[in-house]
Amino acid sequence: MANHMNAAKHRASGKSVLGGAMIIAGTTVGAGMFSLPVVSAGMWFGYSLAMLLGVWFCMLMSGLLLLEANLHFEPGDSFDTLTRVTLGQFWRVINGVSIAFVLYILTYAYISGGGSIVNHSLSALGVSLPQSVAGLVFAIVLALVVFISTKAVDRITTIMLGGMMITFFLAIGNLLIDIDTVKLASPDGESRYLPYLLAAIPFGLASFGYHGNVPSLVKYYGKDANTIVKAIVTGTSIALVIYVCWLVATMGNIQRSQFADIIAQGGNIGVLVAALSGVIASQWLDNMLTLFANLAVASSFLGVTLGLFDYLADLFNFDDSRTGRIKTAAVTFIPPTILGLLFPNGFILAIGFAALAATIWAVIVPALLAYKVRQQYPNADGFKVPGGTPLIVLVVLFGMITATCHLLAMADILPVFK
């Protein structure tokens, strides 16, 4: 009885599951999905589906393990506090470095992807810019939004998410109607598929990253485990459905051999959208797809850079005055923008590196946190992820396998479809 009263006391009043689910889905679905068809082209549709399901399950479990640990702390406590108190200074530093690295490398990836899609959009209007300049324009405009305030990001992201949903279903709906099942079921080119699975796993992991939002949800809902679990399960499931539709739409319309050309051109977003535009008959639908790509990259950029902005302000103790925000903005945006000018086509490469570092803070650390918390509070009655220690071992193994796959693919030991 006391537990029920306790739960009721912690329950967030009038905050729907849908709000949290949209935060999770919005964070998860973004520019990363544009890397999926490109890196899955080697193993094609059946294995891609199996990989997505497996990665979704492991990433869902690691998020729930993080939630379990997080609920033993006060709402508002984030990764830094959790790792320091539970795992000690070593893991706190490792975790902090991997979070900063992921956020920086994703900011660069989105500047590269943003430059590519802005360029593709402008070429339709007969304007041609060097891609690095397009990336610079993209970065400056969106950096100003982050600089203004969190509220500005919140408002604009909400509008963008609405726009993304509408444009995605309009463009994808038509691509799904026109799919050629022969392309999906029996792709052309060499008849080797399974070996390409391993190199694609890290990109799957990068497409299901929402773990930075788990502490935010605890802060938002209070310790209402039931609602947060529903929000995480619903949000990641929405993402999974969107990815499956996206793979059906791309692989059902573009030949497997055509992906070799897309990869040869750097696999960037503009190239993939251009290949799909070649398939879509109507100019209007082509515009919808291009608009969706722009919105996806922009909303991902805003979400990631807001996290990086707040993280760095906290790290360097920059205050919220105008001068403080200018200092934070400089540290946040200048390094990845310079990288974007120097290497305008690093989108796919950067997403892979982000996955490598994300295996630490989004997979391995949450599993270790849950393990330690269970030892510290063996008799605690609260939310506990089912599956006991075997599940924790499974999640850690998944993290280690993913990191190994990325390193082996980088060293050219794993086959990568070209």
Which of 161-175, 318-332, 394-408 holds the top average pLDDT?
394-408
Q: What's residue 407's pLDDT?
A: 94
Q: What's residue 186's pLDDT?
A: 84
pLDDT, tens digit, 9 for 90 and up, residues 112-127: 999 999 988 888 888 8
pLDDT, tens digit, 9 for 90 and up, residues 184-202: 888 888 888 999 999 999 9
Q: What is the C-alpha separation between 207 and 238, in angstroms, rounded?
A: 12
Residue 1 pLDDT class (50, 70, 90 cuts): very low
Would you say residue 230 has pLDDT above 50? yes
Percent of the chain clearing pLDDT 70 (strictly above): 97
Q: What's residue 147's pLDDT?
A: 87
Would you say residue 2 has pLDDT above 60? no
Would you say residue 363 has pLDDT above 70? yes
Q: What's residue 161's pLDDT?
A: 81
Is residue 395 a contact partner of residue 92, using CB atoms and an 8 Å limit? no
Percent of the chain clearing pLDDT 90 (strictly above): 47
Least confident of 120-124, 154-158, 366-370: 154-158
Both tokens assigned to 102 = 């992921």
Least confident of 86-90, 126-130, 340-344: 126-130
Would you say residue 309 has pLDDT above 60? yes
User: Could you tell me how many residues make up the chain?
Assistant: 418
* Among 237, 275, 211, 235, residue whose Cα is nearest residue 37: 275
> For 17-411, which CATH class?
mainly alpha
Alpha-helical (H) ranges within 125-192 are 131-148, 150-177, 181-185
Q: What's residue 5's pLDDT?
A: 40
Would you say residue 166 has pLDDT above 60? yes
Q: What is the C-alpha separation between 54 and 276, in angstroms, rounded?
A: 27
Q: Where are the domains of the chain?
A: 17-411
Q: What's residue 14's pLDDT?
A: 62
pLDDT, tens digit, 9 for 90 and up, residues 35-84: 999 999 999 999 999 999 999 999 999 999 999 999 999 888 888 889 99
- Buried/exposed 62-86: b ≥16 CB within 10 Å, e otherwise: bbbbbbbbbbbbebebbbbebbbbb
Both tokens assigned to 279 = 């398939």
Is residue 315 a contact partner of residue 3, using CB atoms and an 8 Å limit? no
Residue 391 pLDDT class (50, 70, 90 cuts): very high
Return the residue matching tokens 């502490």: 215
* Among 309, 365, 39, residue whose Cα is nearest residue 147: 309
Q: What is the C-alpha separation between 416 and 232, in angstroms, rounded?
A: 32
Q: What's residue 41's pLDDT?
A: 93
Both tokens assigned to 133 = 């300049």
Q: What is the C-alpha separation between 260 and 367, in angstroms, rounded?
A: 38
Q: In terms of C-beta distances under 8 Å and separation of at least 24 residues, what long-range contacts does 96-101 make, across chains too?
A: 96/315, 98/357, 98/358, 98/360, 98/361, 99/212, 99/311, 99/361, 100/308, 100/311, 100/312, 100/315, 101/353, 101/354, 101/357
Mean pLDDT of 339-356: 90
Q: What is the C-alpha separation between 168 and 172, in angstroms, rounded?
A: 6
Is residue 136 a contact partner of residue 334, using CB atoms and an 8 Å limit? no
* Among 364, 345, 416, 382, residue whose Cα is nearest residue 68: 382
Would you say residue 413 has pLDDT above 50? yes
Amino acid at 216: S
Q: Which residues contact 395 (CB under 8 A, 6 or more apart)?
A: 58, 61, 62, 65, 363, 364, 366, 367
